[in-house]
């Protein structure tokens, strides 16, 4: 089963964000992985109630998104994403619908064997072994359940509410009846404005961190047998899910600009916040350690035996606040919380960030295959993972 997409699609490369860049890809559906994602969507009604809020703050019916996992044959364009939500044309989305696709072999493309910065040497092996599986679990939960869950409490038109205004739900954060909600004409975007995208990414990432310690869910992804197994394969994947998130929280500092004191990338800002929530669970669960003054030996210490007892509760506490403030249009509380959790203090700015930049690896490029017709049959031509191989594959794409 083949899927393709071609046209003037993304506008990232145009400084004014207007003109699309010509790009296209040809890919095959990964049926097995698509099925795993489908099972996750089907089981959503069972898992969503495990999230840290009462049903007043959840949709009556979970709207299952469409999701397909693809293996890319060739993606022609200046940059290759790991996942896409297409098409970008709003009229097509409204009338025909849209789909989420994950580009499986982009996520799992093998990089050269090199130690990952900030991972302890004793964790390096398990990290390398399971980082792809862990990332797949994270992305699946993020996209399908994370962005898909939650209800906005609204006055949908003057005098009409999608909740009981005479007996409003009690916020699990304050223990009091809620007093804020979306007014007629207000949307999530109009209330939260510029902070909205990163805040929502953080909510989705927290949902992933809240649910991945559930061994039933890991089993849906083909990991383990559904029973708790801290030191087995499922426990390894879970540990790497948390470790990878903590590492991303440190690496995120590359995307923080000291001149403007601003974050340049919504997902990375979100991951920094989640690292702070891990750290808030106490040094017996997660700490950043170094013995050298320049932090060149900075590593993350994360205790896998304390994910259930410390990590998950800390994430749930943070997630509950994020979620309730979004649900109730409480921008003031949300802003206070998110600014505090993503604040880059002196130590992160002057000590950690320079080390993150020093250890940053160059951006990976992808050497991609081509197919060609030879005597009526299609053949696959692959290239060496070298600069020459990369150039040759571009040349062949143009001229054969």
How many other CB atoms are there within 10 angstroms of residue 146's CB atom?
26
The closest of 394, 375, 376, 392 to 384, measured between CA atoms, is 392
Identity of the residue, 147 or 301, whose beta carbon is nearer to Zn ion in the bound complex: 147
Beta sheet of 99-103, edge-to-edge order: 2-10, 21-29, 67-76, 99-103, 83-86
Nearest distance in Å: CB 268, Zn ion: 12
What CA–CA distance (Å, rounded) separates 88 from 226?
38
Nearest distance in Å: CB 218, Zn ion: 21
CB half-sphere exposure, 343, CA atoms < 13 A: 9
Q: Reduce the DSSP state of residue 344 to 3 states and report it.
A: coil
What CA–CA distance (Å, rounded) separates 191 from 184?
12
What CA–CA distance (Å, rounded) separates 125 from 98?
39
For 143, phi then psi, to 5°, come to: -75, -45
Nearest distance in Å: CB 245, Zn ion: 14
Identity of the residue, 9 or 204, whose beta carbon is nearer to Zn ion in the bound complex: 204
Identity of the residue, 82 or 391, whose beta carbon is nearer to Zn ion in the bound complex: 82
Residue 134 · residue 196 · CB < 8 Å:
no
Q: Reduce the DSSP state of residue 116 to 3 states and report it.
A: coil
Nearest distance in Å: CB 177, Zn ion: 31
- 74 contacts: CB under 8 Å, gap ≥ 6: 25, 26, 368, 369, 370, 371, 397
Nearest distance in Å: CB 55, Zn ion: 24
Per the DSSP assignment, residues forming a β-bridge with 67 are: 100
Chain residue at closest Cβ approach to Zn ion:
204
Nearest distance in Å: CB 201, Zn ion: 5
Write out the residues near Zn ion by the rule CB under 5 A: 201, 204
Nearest distance in Å: CB 204, Zn ion: 5
Nearest distance in Å: CB 325, Zn ion: 18
Annotated catalytic residue within 143, 200, 201, 205 = 143
The residue ranges of DSSP E strands in 238-389, in sequence order, are 256-257, 262-263, 286-289, 299-302, 370-374, 377-381
What CA–CA distance (Å, rounded) separates 104 from 40?
17
Identity of the residue, 151 or 203, whose beta carbon is nearer to Zn ion in the bound complex: 203
Identity of the residue, 168 or 249, whose beta carbon is nearer to Zn ion in the bound complex: 249
Tell me the two tokens of residue 268: 């990375």
How many other CB atoms are there within 10 angstroms of residue 111's CB atom?
10
Q: Reduce the DSSP state of residue 93 to 3 states and report it.
A: helix
201 is an active site residue: no
Determine which helix (DSSP H) or strand (DSSP E) holds 136, and give its type and residue range.
helix 121-140
* DSSP state for residue 330 in the 8-state scheme: -
Give the residue numbers annotated as catalytic, written as ranges: 143
């Amino acid at each position: 089963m083949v899927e393709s997409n071609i046209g003037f699609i993304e506008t990232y490369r145009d400084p004014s964000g207007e003109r699309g860049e010509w790009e296209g890809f040809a890919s095959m559906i990964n049926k097995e992985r698509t099925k795993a994602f489908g099972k996750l969507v089907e089981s959503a009604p069972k898992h969503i109630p495990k999230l840290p809020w009462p049903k007043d703050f959840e949709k009556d019916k979970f709207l299952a998104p469409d999701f397909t996992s693809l293996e890319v044959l060739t993606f022609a364009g200046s940059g290759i994403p790991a996942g896409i939500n297409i098409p970008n044309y709003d009229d097509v989305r409204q009338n025909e619908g849209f789909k989420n696709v994950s580009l499986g072999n982009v996520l799992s493309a093998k990089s050269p064997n090199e130690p990952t910065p900030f991972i302890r040497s004793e964790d390096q092996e398990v990290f390398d072994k399971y980082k792809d599986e862990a990332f797949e679990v994270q992305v699946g939960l993020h996209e399908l359940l994370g962005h898909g869950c939650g209800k906005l409490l609204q006055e949908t038109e003057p005098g009409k509410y999608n909740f009981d205004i005479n007996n409003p739900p009690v916020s699990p954060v304050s223990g009091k009846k809620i007093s804020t909600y979306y007014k007629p004409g207000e949307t999530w975007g109009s209330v939260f404005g510029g902070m909205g995208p990163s805040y929502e990414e953080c909510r989705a990432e927290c949902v992933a961190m809240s649910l991945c310690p559930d061994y039933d869910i890991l089993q849906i992804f083909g990991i383990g047998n559904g029973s708790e197994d801290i030191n087995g394969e499922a426990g390894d994947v879970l540990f790497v899910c948390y470790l990878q998130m903590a590492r991303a929280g440190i690496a995120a500092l590359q995307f923080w600009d000291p001149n403007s004191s601003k974050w340049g990338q919504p997902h990375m800002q979100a991951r920094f916040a989640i690292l702070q929530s891990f750290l808030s669970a106490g040094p017996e669960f997660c700490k950043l350690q170094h013995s050298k003054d320049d932090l060149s030996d900075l590593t993350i210490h994360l205790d896998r035996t304390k994910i259930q007892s410390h990590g998950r509760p800390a994430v749930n506490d943070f997630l509950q606040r994020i979620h309730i403030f979004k649900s109730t249009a409480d921008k003031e509380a949300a802003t206070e919380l998110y600014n505090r959790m993503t604040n880059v203090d002196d130590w992160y700015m002057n000590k950690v960030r320079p080390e993150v930049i020093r250890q940053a690896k160059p951006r990976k490029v992808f050497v991609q295959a081509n197919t060609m017709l030879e005597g009526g049959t299609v053949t696959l031509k692959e290239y060496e993972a070298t600069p020459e191989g990369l150039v040759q594959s571009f040349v062949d794409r143009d001229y054969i």
